[in-house]
Structure 1
């Protein structure tokens, strides 16, 4: 059963920021949502890689997660400072940073794509480029990440369940939540 929770949110043309755990569909759903809204799409992870001149796994390996998170914070601030309407897909940990979260909640419309750990694990198993999953059990890691991160993600004014269905179903739920 698909579930959408909306608390006092209507879309006013602000940038839309998708948040949630890895595998929730932020990039794929974001691209499709942007197409449907005739807006540009920006994947924050791609912007981070372009700014750093290396992949996210390389950043983690060479400099560690704190360095990556600092770059992520700076890139998202730049993307949000440009108030042009757009859809932005964030990395799973971006919304946990206090400054980034405050900026997202103040200047954009945050939408939490929420998915069960078993759905996420199935999706992320298609690629082995996730530093937080390296040599670890995806279900275990994603269950723990959900336990820690979901209460923070719940601060977003819109929550859309991302289930094991075509991503267009999730896009349609977002459009419905936006009143479109």
Structure 2
């Protein structure tokens, strides 16, 4: 059996794909770490030894179901088998083991504690006096943000405008000319500079700032965050009322897309220090709710 597998491997040597080779190496390493023979793993996984040999040598493009069977046989997660970042060192694996099966409250405490341990800025009292508004477009971040800044007598910064200053072109042109990755880099630089310049400020952030974990971590570390929340229909209606016809308010597909985006980002938006639901509330009422929540938060430091 091994001779036949070796023959297949030799013939396909030139066809190796770097991704498949890396996957195969992880399978071999995990099998060695468990002290299991290839035959034993193949038997437990319910695949042929030849198929497993092809996988280990980077010439077998296994289906996701086969990979799951192999992961089960190796007593590891599918994520560990395919090589997510938490498998890159023993310390990562040990940390992940500590965090697995923990609830959201525990994970939040761990994240905050890690931030304080690794970044002394997280204990800077200026964090309380930098107010960052997050949420989807149409949440009222720009309007309410300017009103809040005026009320607190602090500067107001719309991060999208700062991004455009860095790039020398509009946000749409950044995406069209340079792509999303470039936009995320400008976004990170704009946030870092805003934090460095202002000790007291109200910041209106782009809706997608939660899409980059590193940037969102910076925001959570250096700012008191407020999620301006609203129903999808209200988000769409407000954007249309601003004269932006791109979302096509009457389109069912557009509404479905918006709901998916909101659902996907809600878990991140919910990490905010304060949540204000503006659904069904007018501008004045929403502002009073926001003002009261922020001033209550600021009272010890302001």
TM-score under structure 2 normalisation? 0.52
Partner of residue 36, structure 1: 151
Question: Bigger shift: 65-74 or 36-45?
Answer: 65-74
1 CA distance for matches of 2:132 and 2:293? 14
Give the secondary structure class of the aligned counterpart of 1:87: strand
Higher strand share: 1
Does the CA-based 8 Å contact 2:131-2:224 persist in structure 1? yes
Q: How does 1:87-126 map to 2 (within 5 A)?
A: 87-125=202-240, 126=242
The higher-RCO structure (CA 8 Å, 6+ apart) is: 1
Task: Name which one, 1 or 2, has greater alpha-carbon Rg.
Answer: 2
Identify the structure with the greater helix proportion: 2
Give the direction of change, closer, same or farther, for the CA distance of 1:12–1:43 in structure 2 (3 Å limit).
closer
Q: Which secondary structure state, in structure 1, belongs to the residue aligned with residue 200 of structure 2?
A: coil
- Helix, strand or coil: the match of 1:39? coil
The corresponding residue for 1:152 is: 268
4+ residue segments displaced more than 4 Å: none
CA distance in 2, matches of 1:12, 1:61: 34
Any conservation in 1 of the 2:132–2:203 contact (CA below 8 Å)?
A: yes
Gaps of 5+ in 2: 1-125
Residue 93 of structure 1 aligns to a residue whose secondary structure is helix
Shift of 1:81: 2.3
Q: Distance in 2 between matches of 1:52 and 1:109?
A: 27
Alpha-carbon RMSD: 2.2
Cα offsets for 1:52-111 (capped at 9, x unmatched): 111111111111222112211111111112342010000001133212222221211000
Q: 2:174 aligns with which of 59, 79, 86?
A: 59
